[in-house]
Amino acid sequence: MTPAELPQLRQFDTTIRQWIDMLGDYTLEMLHRPPRPGSWTLGQVYIHIIDDTGWFVGQMKEGLLSRVDADKTMHPDARAMFDRNGFPDLQIEGPATNTYIPQPQSKEELARQLMEIKTTVDALFRDFDPAVSTGKTRHPGLHFFSPLEWLQFAEMHMRHHLRQKRRIDEALSGGVEGD
């Protein structure tokens, strides 16, 4: 199967391209402005997406290169998310690790990092056939995903944060407050 034939890869490319393109709508100052005290800025959302997606890409690669844990399955909650192809519409306070998310240094840095992720993912699925790669890796709370499942999960995660982006945009423009 060629990368162009993978619907998960096409959707991932579309969603990451959307995040890259949206950077043109903001100044760096706008990316640093919190919608309310103590909440994430849009710049921090970008950093979070880059950090998490980079980790997901490592999981994809590990699964593509191994046959370990092929018999393991995902958690039923994960199966429900995959079946509906989306995260639940929940607002979570801060990252799961409670670590500080820094502000981006520049819009160009964000665009470059997102493009690097896109290029890496495209190359992975060009160079390795997910149909013959049986390895799975463990998600910290949702059990085991195959490389294609990690790809779908990464795209769902980015799309989930589009809702957060809309809430931040509304709050910054004088609309509903939220993150």
> Domain extents for the chain?
3-172
- Confidence class for position 179, pLDDT limits 50, 70, 90: very low
CB-side neighbour CA atoms (13 Å) of 48: 23
Which structure tokens are listed for 30? Answer: 């706008």
pTM of the predicted protein model:
0.91
Instruction: Report the phi/psi class of residue 94: left, alpha or beta, with left for phi > 0 and alpha for psi in -120 to 50.
Output: left
3-172: what fold?
Four Helix Bundle (Hemerythrin (Met), subunit A) (1.20.120)
At 36-81, the pLDDT tens digits run 998 999 999 999 999 999 999 999 999 999 999 999 999 999 999 9
